[in-house]
Amino acid sequence: MGKYQLIYFNVRGRGEAIRTLLKDNGIDYEEINCGNNWQKEWKPQMQFGQTPALRDNDFLLVQSNAILRHLARKHGLYGDTEEEAALIDMINDGVEDLRSKYVNLIYRNYENGKDEYIADLPNQLQPFEKLLSSNGADRSGCCVGTKRSFADYNLSDLLDVHVVLAPKCLEDFPTLKAYYQQYLARPGILEYRETEAFKQRPINGNGKQ
């Protein structure tokens, strides 16, 4: 099997959960920055005219959550039972709901919407706190069961960008805070976050965070 190619802009955005899954699991991949000639060269190749995309040999896949699930199926990151897989899907869909709200704030309503968004953030984080508390995720670092899943990389990245937006947003959520600190302490994540590639990469495409 050839090396995976992750085709995305040089931002964290919807690509970072994929990058951290690959890095933390020692899965080799090539990063392709499609920003240089997006409209003419890359956009027409994409099934929905969007990125991120994962090239897996001759197989090209778009939609960030489909990419996460594809890698999870191939690399044992989708739980041990059908019920665990369903719960992982449920949490990942919850992550997608909040990520969509975050993306809309960042790109469409930052100046006027930031204060209201941050004020409502506890209501958005509470369901994750309750779900992860019921699973002892503060100790295991796993949102479902006792094995990390693709939803852990997506949720951890979501918490990461929200801690930048609202540094104290986890102070009232001890499980989420411990779970996020567990993520940051993972050797693969620590090593990756020390790279220049990570440090120089903006969170979003418009410079807002």
What is the binding site for ligand GVX (CB under 6 A)?
13-14, 43, 49-52, 63-65, 103-104, 107-108, 205
β-sheet bridge partners, residue 53? 7, 62
Choose between 45 and 133: whose C-beta lies nearer to ligand GVX.
45
Choose between 149 and 182: whose C-beta lies nearer to ligand GVX.
149
Ordered DSSP codes for 8-64: E-SSSTTTHHHHHHHHHTT--EEEEEGGGGIIIIIGGGSTTS---EEEETTEEEESH
What is the nearest approach in angstroms of ligand GVX to the Cβ of residue 103? 5
What is the nearest approach in angstroms of ligand GVX to the Cβ of residue 134? 28
Give whole-number Cα distances, 169 to 3, 7, 50, 65, 180, in Å: 38, 31, 31, 25, 12
Choose between 107 and 197: whose C-beta lies nearer to ligand GVX.
107
What is the nearest approach in angstroms of ligand GVX to the Cβ of residue 60? 13
The token duo for 32 is: 């392709």
Choose between 44 and 187: whose C-beta lies nearer to ligand GVX.
44
